[in-house]
Amino acid sequence: MRIRLGILWLCLCMGSATVLADTVLEPSKDGADTAAFEKAIAEGGNIHLKSGTYKLSRTVMVDLSKVGPISITGEGTARIDMQAAGPAFLFVGTHAGTADPATVLPQVWEKERMPVVRGIEFTASHPDGDGIAAEGTMQLTLSQLTIREVRHGIHLCKRNRNIIIEQCHVYHNRGVGVFYDQVNLHQSNITGCHISYNQLGGVVIAGGDVRNVHVTGCDIEANMSETLGFRANVWVECARGSGAEIAITGCTIQHTASVPDSANIVYVGAEDSSNETMPKWGHLTIADNILTDSHHNIWLKNSRGVTITGNTFGEGHQEHLLIENSESVVVGANVFDRNPPYYTTKTKDSQDILLFRNCKNCVLQGLLLNGISHKSGAIQLEGCEGMNLQGCSILNHGAVGLALRDCRDCLVTGCLFRGKKGEQTQSISPENAGDGNEFFGNKVGDAKQQP
């Protein structure tokens, strides 16, 4: 094991790349990897890992207030195997402020800012071993990592600010991929990552005080387990706190329909929204994604202020959209298309409906639905108020295109309905629609069908 004696220059044959490291580590032959890491971290600076597997017998704590600015880097050939419970690395800082520069103490800028982990693989032989955990950090940056076969991949606790997770593979872990665990965290970006096959969720925000989350350009798949009872790729739960100002954009989010009641995106607020201390949280944007192969592609409950636009939906085995007890939701310019190559074998029975239940003051505009043939309606509004449907195309629908049940003061204008050829269909079902609803300027397969 070689550790810094003075300053070492490490030149790696990667084109013209040169890596400057204060400390160079290589795997020990006598099981002393944990002590070697602790010694290197105590000295701070850039710790560079040579190829091989490093075995940790306990969590290595990085006390940022003591060690100063630090990075732990590799070139993709080093593996850290956690052989005890807890995270392999625990980054602990003292930042108690916000992202406002006026709240960041000088010691944070001098000693704690932007700890970096890059270019390393993490595994865990211990069933309760995790990858990386952080609390009290400012500008933690995790880049080009593989985290697999651990419990929780990236575990964010207590309080952090301005976190970047980029170009990481968080894959096939026993717990959560990226876990916001009752954390106070504003400003975090998850960009360009593969987050797949994590049994307790891909990106999970569980309570806490979470704002300004950007999940962008990621592939998020099959992060659920029937046996462990978790069923969502992206989960935001506000009943024990608040998660808001969240953007999920430009991602592929899909699988697994074989898990009952599975969902690609779940956003759940507090049950009693009449209580001002338990509001309907929101400021949620879901845009320009591909969402497929789940029982509920998007499930919103007790939410307010949500925009869903520019997405392509497929194989919503129960619903493409299940939106309950929510308000101020805009659903616009999305495609819900039963494209034949995707609807073979089991998927041919997918229901694919859009169901709004006990919602108010929402807008559905510019939607394209093609081939949804549920007998109760391709779009179903139940117990809703002040819903505004404009310029939607509901094509090749089954028995009913749009159904309103016990709704009031809803408006349906400028929509195009076309039922399946050769079938008895009804474009808009007025039965038990409720009071004060208006329909005009719609083009239907049979003018007599329009209320």
Find out whether 230 and 263 touch, Cβ atoms under 8 Å: no
- How far is residue 146's CA from residue 163's CA, in Å, rounded to a whole number? 18
Q: Where are the beta strands (DSSP E) in 325-443?
A: 327-332, 335-337, 353-357, 363-365, 368-370, 379-382, 388-390, 393-397, 400-405, 407-408, 411-413, 416-419, 426-429, 434-435, 438-440
DSSP secondary structure code for residue 449 in this structure: G
SS3 (DSSP) at 298: strand
- State the chain's maximal CA–CA distance in angstroms: 88
pTM above 0.85, yes or no: yes
Where do the structural domains in the chain lie, given as residue ranges?
352-451
Pairing of strands 281-287, 230-249: parallel
Match 């956690």 to its residue by tokens.
82
Q: What are phi and psi of 39, to 5 degrees?
A: -65, -45
Tokens encoding 109: 């800028």
- How far is residue 444's CA from residue 191's CA, in Å, rounded to a whole number? 44
- Burial zone of 94 (CB within 10 Å; 0-12 exposed, 13-18 middle, 19+ buried): middle
> Closest by alpha carbon to 315, among 298, 333, 291, 331?
291
DSSP states of 75-110 as a string? EEEEEEEE-SSEEEEEEE----S-SSGGGS-HHIII
Per-residue pLDDT of the chain (451 residues; tens, 9 = 90+): 444 433 333 343 333 345 567 899 999 988 789 999 999 999 999 999 999 999 999 999 999 999 999 999 999 999 999 999 999 999 999 999 999 999 999 999 999 999 999 999 999 999 999 999 999 999 999 999 999 999 999 999 999 999 999 999 999 999 999 999 999 999 999 999 999 999 999 999 999 999 999 999 999 999 998 887 778 999 999 888 889 999 999 999 999 988 888 999 999 987 765 555 556 788 999 999 999 999 999 999 999 999 999 999 999 999 999 999 999 999 999 999 998 888 887 778 889 999 999 999 999 999 999 999 999 999 999 999 999 999 999 999 999 999 999 999 999 999 999 998 888 888 998 778 889 999 999 998 754 444 4
Secondary element (H or E) of residue 35: helix 33-43
**Cα 366 versus chain centre, distance:** 26
**Cα 353 versus chain centre, distance:** 22
Q: What are the residues facing 329 on neighbouring strands?
A: 306
Find out whether 391 and 365 touch, Cβ atoms under 8 Å: yes
Pairing of strands 230-249, 224-225: antiparallel
Tokens encoding 379: 């779009």
Q: What are phi and psi of 345, to 5 degrees?
A: 45, -125
Helices (H) and strands (E) in the chain, counts: 3, 41
**Alpha-carbon distances, residue 169 vs 114, 244, 298, 335, 346 (angstroms):** 21, 25, 24, 29, 30
